[in-house]
Structure 1
Amino acid sequence: MITIGFGLAVAVGTALLSLPPATRSGQRADLVDALFTATSAVCVTGLVTVDTGSYWSGFGQAVILLLIQAGGLGIMTLATLLTVLLSRRLGLRARFLAQAETKSLDLTDVRGVVRRIVLFSLASEAVVAVALTLRFATAYDQPFGAAVYNGVFHAVSAFNNAGFSTNADSLVGFVADPWVSLTVAAAVILGGLGFPVVFELARTWRRPALWSVMTRITVVLTVSLLTLGTLVLTLTEFSNPRTLGPLSGPEKLLAGFFASAMTRTAGFNSVDVGAMRPDSLLASDVLMFIGGGSAGTAGGIKVTTFGLLAFVLWSEMRGERHVHVGSRRVPGSNQRQALAIALLGVGAVVTATFLLLAITPYRLDVVLFEVVSAFGTVGLSTGITGSLPPEADLLLVVLMFAGRIGPLTLASALALRDRTRRFELPEERTIVG
């Protein structure tokens, strides 16, 4: 149902963007461009084959904005409701204990859950839109109507981790502006945390001992990856004359933090990504592949998947039979789900990179960056998207669609298919490594 729903949304978006009024020229858009843009918007990715501000008309941009909103709300709602659905598969005693200890979402209040998600999303977008509108109107002398439009567009795009911008250079013009950069980064981080985590933090932020395993992993890894990404990207690009080189010390740190936050997976850029050094691109690949929080608008394999695998590795190195996160033991089924999602993600990235290298003339680091950005629904690009052949665009369309709904549907399918085996075969160890 999730796959069909997102597929229908992409089809409707493609049809609307194929209409002549959707382009500024009044001519019908190329079908591949319309399909690529619609998929990127619904999957809240941000990769584009044509410039959003100059190619699409006001009608076309409104369609893109609605597709972003539908895709972002759809992901948050479906992921949260699937969490509720999977929780119902627990035994009655376990469900009561889980609710009593974590004060989680009411398993019977589906309407309430959806209502709170919609209100939370719209309220967050409204706050960001007001802040950006005031800045655009007062500091950049934009007419009030244009400031409101740009503020709303970037607020919706940021909160939903889409990365679409009406500016041809994204947010490069605001690289030294902390008001715009930090506001957009805050919206991206908030949307990427996920509604269950935000909802739990709103009630128990003063009592970390009561946090669930998902909230604990999401918060710790989000802060850690943001900090590590800021340090790595700032240091690797510190003296690059085409990116951070001309900026002052505080401005370099701001730009480094913004770049780190955008890999979580928003797609805005305040420096030229194509001018980054190979080591910076590789660091960004890792951050984009990990992505953001579960049940949020971010993509990637999710920080919960990565964090859970890190705890599995730590427990294995210590020789422990069970994996513990805080005061909780993680079931083996969760560990297998995380491993399956991570390995399938690696397989998808490697396969798509091989195919793109075969049909395009670009070097490995650039192609890998584009592939990881599409799979992680990030939207960052080194600038090659618009010059790719149609078959490469279609490959990225498939990758964006799979990267958006793949981890969600795969995790839920694996969890719902978990069943007890009524017999066991004789055990035999094999050599590993």
Structure 2
Amino acid sequence: MEITGEDLKQFFSRSRHLMAVCDDRARLIAVNPAWLEATAMALSEIRGEPLCHLVHEEDARLVEGVLRRLEREATLDVRLRRRKGGALWVELSLFREERRARLYVTAVDISVRVGEEEALAAGEAFLERLHSSVPQAAFLYFVSEGRSVLLSQEGLSPLGYRCSRSLPVASILHPDDLPVVRALPERLAPLAEGQSTEVILRFRHRDGRYRTFLVRETPFRRDERGSVTQILAVAVDITDQKDREASALEQACRDDLTDLMNRRALMATLRDFLEKGDPFALSYLDLDHFKEVNDSFGHGRGDALLRQIGRRLSESAGPGDVVARLGGDEFVVLMKEMADRRVAQAAAEGLKEAIETIGSSTDGISLSCSIGVALFPEDGRDGEALLAAADGALYRAKAAGRSCIR
């Protein structure tokens, strides 16, 4: 099937690429609608004009030089003039046909690519100044395309990477942090007003571990309407700081003597149990006559026994159960999936025997305990109510002669 002249006319008129035809002296004969639309020019304004007059004045000499040397074809990046000022960056392809003494021209819009290159250059210049004080990782985020480009890898050295722009940012991001990145459009409003936003992201080390970064986002480039088109994100490694905070929080939630959960941590865990809504039991333990141990053997021996009791309770508790020390000689065990009071009391009996076994194996010391058991939701629907119910049951166990369960 042959291509006809009509086919070529249709292609020329309907193509979305910019096309032009010039005579043997590179004067414009025709352009397609895409060219006129992109430059906002009328055909009557540019017909007969030399091709070098259609480009930005700073690129005119480049085009003239290429045309003088052109034998067959050439490609160059130039800026086309637009009616309303400014310029459109294009990749200009020239093809000379000797037989018809024609010069065929096509232009592909490369504004985005050039804009990226300019932004990268500007970003690097900015980061050179930034890195003179604090080494940081920096990313340039292109809003319309939804992608990030790594500008500097200085701050990524803790991750063990040496490559820079060839490293896709998303490839080293923790999967759970992807929603934070996807929520960037929600942060565009404050960014558009010139404000900075901060997010916490985790990036993967080459060995598979993750490190935590504080990422500050600021508007970097806007379009002619003032909308933010590029965002500069500067990342600072805060892993060590976060580890210290986590360690401090862990310490704040641990009993200094037994290393079990303390009251604060117990109440937080109790809230988690309640939010899940599954039945569970709360056993409230109190050692019988423990003051006599301290009086007879000293507080050092008493503390050692409390640590041993904490370990024994942890070993005797079921999978997923939680053991805490409220203070003094009082302990609490949260027992998961306990809906039957008899089953819960049988489990508490196992805890009681574990503690009393310690006493029987310790020369001169006799240990026993009393336990009060409360069930959720039967005995209370919040933490304070459950603790009060278990404390009441414990009081009844003490009143019944101690060393028993109620």
Measured against the shorter chain, the TM-score band is under 0.3
Instruction: Give the greater-gyration-radius structure (CA).
Output: 2
Higher strand share: 2
- The structure that is helix-richer by fraction is 1
